[in-house]
Amino acid sequence: MSRYFIELKYDGTNYHGWQIQNNANSVQAEVNKALSTLFQTEIMVMGAGRTDTGVHAQQLFAHFDLSFDKLRMTNINTNQLVFKLNTLLPADISCSSASEVNAEAHSRFSATARTYEYWITPTKNPFLINKAYYFTKALDIDLMNKAAETLKKHTDFSCFSKSNTDTHTNNCDITFAQWQQADNKLIFTISADRFLRNMVRAIVGTLLDVGTKKNSLEDFNQIILSKNRSNAGTSAPAHGLYLTEVKYPKEVFNG
């Protein structure tokens, strides 16, 4: 049995998130279908995380296992795997790379860091429909960055998590959080070892309340300390969110 990592990109507009669902199409289902068609046997991939409906990914890794005895093969050419997989995937999903990894490597549990971006556009732009949040209120970006810096002083982010999730802890180590202007967009970048369900969108929504002066910096800090989701802001829309990077130890690929 051999294990492979594939690196994926996708526009999440037409999908009900990454994870397979009974009555809706998902990115994971499309990848499973393409790989199963390619190898003529059922393939199930495990992703590095679960993006919600409408959320995009510029980089997401998934792993799957192959039994060469069943396939009557001795090995596969990863370059050919990428090429053939892209011919079978829908136009809004692509595979960037494929690598054989050690048997213990896991796309979700071996990941050491993840980075998200959230895009906001202050002007109506037809090319950013379903790609950025159209937000017209004036924002104090310096104040929002001061609040974002506060995030790194905390570890318990219960106030930004969906309730009734299956996580054992709401602790996360946020290593980077910053707003920047880029090409007439306002982009929030955040990195951490892990993220809770809906966490980034809830953080963005709460930071926007700071930027519009609805809440102060002290209010923002107290919201985090409260550990109560009802005290935080409304979650920003899903279509402005991008998973942009997932990091792994070098031994995952070289082991």
Given the residues 11, 52, 140, 142, select the one marked as catalytic: 52
Enter the DSSP assignment of 171: B
As given in the structure block, the two tokens for residue 245 are 């990077």
CB 242 within 8 A of CB 119: yes
Measured in degrees and rounded to the nearest 5, phi and psi for residue 253 equal -95, -25
183 is catalytic: no
CB 12 within 8 A of CB 22: no
CA distance 114 to 191: 6
Q: Where are the beta strands (DSSP E) in 86-219?
A: 93-101, 113-121, 133-134, 174-182, 185-192
CA distance 32 to 239: 24
Could you list the active site residues? 52
